Amino acid sequence: MRLSAKIYSGIIFAFLFAPILVLLIFSFNEAKSLSVFSDFSLKWYKELFHDRNTLESLRNTLVLATAATVISTIMGTCAAVGMNKLRSKWYRAALNTVTDIPMTNPDIITGISLMLMFVFVGRMFGAANSLNFWTLLLAHVTFCTPYVILQVLPKLQQMDKALPEAAMDLGCTPIRAFFKVELPEILPGIITGAIMAFTLSLDDFVISYFTTGNGFETLPIRIYGMTKKTVTPKMYALATIIFFVTLALLLISNFVDNEDSRQLQKEKKKRKAKHYK
Amino acid sequence: MKNVKKTPNSYRAAMTPYSIWSLLFVIVPLIFVAYYAFTDNQFAFTTDNITRFFTATSNVIQEDGSTEEVRTYLLIFMRSLKLAVISTAVCLLMGYPIAYIMARAKEKTQKTMMTLIMIPMWMNFLIRTYAWMTILQDTGIMNSILGKFGISPVQVIGTETAVIIGMVYDYFPYMVLPIYSILAKLDVRLLEAARDLGCGSLSVLRRVVFPLSMPGVISGITMVLIPSISTFYISQKLGNGKFFLIGDAIEGQYIANNLHFAAAIAFILMLILLAGMALVKYVTARYVYGGE
């Protein structure tokens, strides 16, 4: 890499990491100030762990993200398996389009559209406030599933089509062939998809903001509430913890992906070797 | 070989839950946006919400103290468009070189740089935005560093610059990643051929690399433009609430429980984005893939 390229990359990464560094440093600040660092202390972390509402919202976020991940991973994987075998062009185009919509539409429109429907249906049943945990869960599954499909579908397309056929020729029922042969092959895609769904759900603010109600507060919504008033370094402590948790998840998913591609390359080499014999 | 008869029924069954789900939670909600946009509080048909978007006026105090009557929502929309276009351009100018550097680096460096670019994305955008507020505010870190060099404080928060910085920061990876993924796949022999045929480095960039990376550039532009045109938090925090954007307008109407007008704004925004995307698709098909 040339020196100019190194300097340029340095500037870009400084820009990208400056705010994160600020958060990390000021979460350990003794004083309440967010611009003058006085002394190292863990005071804000301690305070964070005594903040009932924040802990409650953390619990809510985790429950929601877990539920949304389980549902969207199962539904998305099934959908991808079906879409991979789909013959009807019309049906395929329709499914591709609906998968694209939540990803390309601005979050605010996805959020507003779901909210309008929930409110309308709620009113039909005479409910004054129809937004709650369940509407939030429906919304999260809706925007997570396309990402699972996009991770699983390529793995299905890469898979050797002869494998499940061979299994069935050897006496497996189609369902058994799926669980014994196809599922292990596409598992890395499912895991990355599930991790993506989980982090997206953890991180989402805009859609949650419009579709939650009845006092069900997730962490991002709580943070939004906190930033409306004066902010203490407590929020930075929270951000630091979230940062390291998501970083760990990201590294795990990278690791799964690397292992997978390493195995793929090994197999390719083996196949090539056999071919030349 | 069609000797193995597949069981399309079980595959169809596997898709059914998702098909029904997307119908109920993707398509129907969009219909509801249109339905609310064209009805009043009693759900009777009206076009008032739509006309209100185009005709509502308000008085704006000019810098010289005089007031001027403006079309409120058109002004807000044009402002959103302007800030989003500037942010997208800045992202492209900053992001293209880094994508190019990444694509030309060693494979291991590429992976590390990629992870480094992605990391800030995994931080909640509310917190990222707030951190910029800490840095940029009048008594913030930037001004205290400037002060050490004897430079008088600069006021950034509450200006358009601050909003643009926030947008660029939040959506920067969306610009870099698609461009990088195209550039990384670029056939190096093409560049060598151009050089052999007497192209200088700059004209290789301009006449070979850039045209070939157009698909990445276009998807980068859409991926930055769409979220930045519809954002609503960045402007409230970094713009100090002075620059009301289209997203803020929708949120404000939602807070005020004017669901029908909120739906109308969302509906118009959606149509404009759809038209914009169709135009981009047409132009790409015609001028990028169609050759000259």
**3-state SS string for chain B:** CCCCCCCHHHHHHHHHHHHHHHHHHHHHHHHHHHHHHCECCCCCECCHHHHHHHHCEEEEECCCCCEEEEEHHHHHHHHHHHHHHHHHHHHHHHHHHHHHHHHHCCHHHHHHHHHHHHHHHHCCHHHHHHHHHHHHCCCCHHHHHHHHCCCCCCCCCCCHHHHHHHHHHHHHHHHHHHHHHHHHCCCHHHHHHHHHCCCCHHHHHHHHHHHHCHHHHHHHHHHHHHHHHHCCCHHHHHCCCCCCCHHHHHHHHHHCCCHHHHHHHHHHHHHHHHHHHHHHHHHHHHHHHCCC
Quick one: pLDDT at residue A168? 84
Assess if residue B89 is contained within a domain. Answer: yes
Residue B4's nearest CA partner among A109, A169, A229 is: A169
Region A104-117 average pLDDT: 92
Assess if residue B47 is contained within a domain. Answer: no
pLDDT score of B1 more than 60: no
Quick one: pLDDT at residue B292? 42
Assess if residue B167 is contained within a domain. Answer: yes
Quick one: pLDDT at residue B261? 93
Segment of A25-39, A189-203, B79-93, B115-129 carrying the highest mean pLDDT: B79-93
Quick one: pLDDT at residue A1? 65
Residue A240's nearest CA partner among A19, A16, A23, A22 is: A23
Question: Per-residue pLDDT tens for A227-243?
Answer: 877 777 888 888 888 88
Name which of A98, A175, A247 is nearest B122 (Cβ-Cβ). Answer: A247
Q: How confident is the model at residue A50 (pLDDT cuts 50, 70, 90)?
A: confident
**Are the beta carbons of A8 and B101 separated by less than 8 Å?**
yes
Question: Per-residue pLDDT tens for A139-176?
Answer: 999 999 999 999 999 888 888 888 888 888 888 887 88
Name which of A19, A115, A169 is nearest B135 (Cβ-Cβ). Answer: A19
Average predicted confidence (pLDDT) for chain A: 86
% of chain A exceeding 70 in pLDDT: 97
Quick one: pLDDT at residue B2? 43
Prediction ipTM score: 0.85
Nearest CA in chain A to B129: A19
Residue B169's nearest CA partner among B227, B214, B99, B112 is: B227
**Are the beta carbons of A224 and B30 separated by less than 8 Å?**
no
Nearest CA in chain B to A235: B127
Nearest CA in chain B to A10: B98
Quick one: pLDDT at residue A274? 66
Assess if residue B21 is contained within a domain. Answer: no
**Are the beta carbons of B120 and A108 separated by less than 8 Å?**
no
- The boundaries of the domain holding residue B281 are 74-289
What sign does the dihedral A261-A267-A268-A273 (CA atoms) show?
positive
Name which of B6, B15, B101 is nearest A5 (Cβ-Cβ). Answer: B101
Coil/strand/helix, residue A40: strand
Question: Can you list the domains of chain A with their CATH numbers?
Answer: 51-269 (1.10.3720.10)
Residue A72's nearest CA partner among A249, A196, A246 is: A196
**Are the beta carbons of B28 and A87 separated by less than 8 Å?**
no
Assess if residue B81 is contained within a domain. Answer: yes
Compute the distance between CA of residue A144 and CA of residue A139 in angstroms, rounded to an integer. 9
Quick one: pLDDT at residue B288? 67
Assess if residue B199 is contained within a domain. Answer: yes
Question: Per-residue pLDDT tens for A10-48?
Answer: 999 999 998 888 888 888 888 777 667 777 888 888 888
Quick one: pLDDT at residue B4? 45
Residues in A closer than 8 angstroms to B167, CB to CB, are none
Give the number of other Cβ atoms within 10 Å of residue A191's Cβ. Answer: 18
Question: Per-residue pLDDT tens for B158-196?
Answer: 889 999 999 999 999 999 999 999 998 888 888 888 888
The more confident residue out of B155 and A208 is A208
Compute the distance between CA of residue B89 and CA of residue B99 in angstroms, rounded to an integer. 15
Question: pTM for the whole thing?
Answer: 0.85
Assess if residue B256 is contained within a domain. Answer: yes
Quick one: pLDDT at residue B8? 66
Assess if residue B36 is contained within a domain. Answer: no
pLDDT score of A3 more than 60: yes
Region B10-24 average pLDDT: 88
Average predicted confidence (pLDDT) for chain B: 86
Nearest CA in chain A to B4: A165
pLDDT score of B42 more than 60: yes
Name which of A152-156, B43-47, B58-62, B265-269 the model is least confident about: B58-62
Q: Count structural domains, chain B.
A: 1
**Are the beta carbons of B232 and A206 separated by less than 8 Å?**
yes
**Are the beta carbons of B169 and A16 separated by less than 8 Å?**
yes
Mutation pick from A116, A195, A198, A231 vs chain B, by most beta carbons of B within 10 Å, is A116
Compute the distance between CA of residue A27 and CA of residue A241 in angstroms, rounded to an integer. 10
Compute the distance between CA of residue A103 and CA of residue A207 in angstroms, rounded to an integer. 12
Name which of A66-75, A119-128, B233-242, B282-291 the model is least confident about: B282-291
Name which of A105-119, A134-148, A208-222, B163-177 the model is least confident about: A208-222
pLDDT score of B289 more than 70: no
Question: Per-residue pLDDT tens for B201-235?
Answer: 888 888 888 888 888 999 899 899 999 998 888 88
Region B32-38 average pLDDT: 93
CATH number at residue B122: 1.10.3720.10
Pairs of residues, one from chain A and one from chain B, whose beta carbons lie less than 8 Å apart: 211
Quick one: pLDDT at residue B15? 87
